[in-house]
Amino acid sequence: MSEVGEEMHALVRRLYPLCRSITGDGVRATLDIVGEYVPLEVHEVPTGTEVLDWTVPQEWNIRDAYVADASGRRVVDFAASSLHVLGYSVPVSATMPLAELRPHLHTLPDHPSWVPYRTSYYTPEWGFCLAQETLDAMPDGDYEVRIDSTLADGHLTYAEHVVPGRVTDEVIVSCHVCHPSLANDNLAGIAVAVFLARALAERQPHYTYRFVFAPGTIGAITWLARNAERVERVRHGLVLACAGDRGELTYKRSRRGDAEIDRVLRYVLAASGRPHRVTEFTPYGYDERQYCSPGFDLGVGSLSRTPYAGYPEYHTSADDPDFVSPEAMADTLAVCREAFGVLDRNRRYVNLSPYGEPQLGRRGLYESLGGRSDAKQAQMAMLWVLSLSDGEHGLLDVAERSGLPFDTVAAAADALHGAGLLKA
């Protein structure tokens, strides 16, 4: 089991108890912890701010909530799990019979021991989520119902972390920070993003990588509204979600379908031999649909393991830290690193000696391969790079057409460039 997988799993466990929503102190507490791993620039956007076709809502915070029976025993207790309260519940303090309370109780009859995750962001409502078996055990009678929450003018909070590159063109890596105690759908993506940022910082990448930690939908919309000028510099992007379950990796293409990030992920997954799926874009899912909306049309895809709603534990209490594994998160991280390694090195070159095959031997290029077990492959890579370096084909084109490993092709391009035979 990899050390980095264990570190990511420890971060998931640490974040798991916090009550997150699209606004509020739970988001801030989450970003405070993330900020211990990578430096963050935190943004606070006031309630009422117009962001594209939306408006930043009131801020929601909650201190306590419960349903207590006649003896005072808490049958449903927010202190035991943040999932027990309908997200964005308005405050309530009342005593009522079970028949009156029932419409406000949400369960999963098909999974009687699980607690569902439910929200009511934009409609004033209150409610509790509980296991069906708990509801079945509640006798008729009066129950004390209390939700100690506030909905008031405040802020929407999101954060950014930037890994500087050699150019100002940017790659966006986005994950949502709005779900409460859900390990795979939320926290695994955050953990992979954090450790991906740390890995990229260990080398100076070509692109500048901007990591966006924001509430789902309204957070990405807010970021886009506030970064209209920066959007012009975004060349590629990836949304991370459901990054830690034991299912096979799934890449969802951008709206364009043929963006460079789409080609890179397809190539990396296929070349790795990992079981995987590549699916077409749909305007439903995570925040790729915001970045890919037609007005922006950014080349942003989405990487997950089992996609949203594709596993029974999705949006339930069964999506706990034991549901995600260090090995799966380490595997997701490895694919991200491989993909961005290809993306960073996928250059187009021009052959500076295009009339006939240049003499490689007198430039010492053949001799540099002496003793290498892959000397023949490396030699073929040089010939392929020279053949396709017409300013129209990138190194990924070379790797795909030749069937040679991308790393071998990139090394050949470096050698040829160093010998003065290629111009970027």
Q: Which residues are part of a known binding site for Zn(2+)?
A: 179, 185, 315
What sign has the CA pseudo-torsion 87, 90, 93, 94?
Answer: negative
Contact 265, 301 (CB under 8 A): yes
Task: Classify the C-alpha dihedral 394-196-279-234 as positive or negative.
Answer: negative
The Cα 343–Cα 137 span in angstroms is 56
Q: Which amino acid is at 281?
A: F
Burial of 199 (0-12, 13-18, 19+ CB in 10 A): middle
348-351 and 422-423 beta bridge pairing: antiparallel
CA-wise closest residue to 46 among 64, 23, 80, 71: 23
Number of C-alpha atoms within 13 angstroms, CB side, residue 248? 10
**If you write DSSP's letter for every residue of 183-210 in order, what string do you get?**
IIIIIIHHHHHHHHHHHHHTS--SSEEE
- What three-state secondary structure class fits 33? helix
Among all chains, which residue has been given the structure tokens 């490689």? 360
What is the C-alpha to C-alpha distance for residues 415 and 357, in angstroms, rounded to an integer?
A: 16
Tell me the CA distances in angstroms from 83 to 18, 86, 152, 279, 291, one per residue in order: 10, 7, 21, 31, 29
Q: Annotated binding site, which residues? A: 179, 185, 315
- Compute the CA torsion angle 235, 241, 246, 252 (nearest 10 deg): -50
Other C-beta atoms closer than 10 Å to the C-beta of 334 total: 18
* The pair of three-digit structure tokens given for residue 347, joined into one six-digit string: 């250059």
Which residues, including other chains, have CB under 8 Å from residue 412's CB and lie 6 or more apart? 378, 381, 382, 384, 385
Pick from 312, 303, 308: nearest CA to 331: 303
Which residues on adjacent β-strands are paired with residue 76? 67
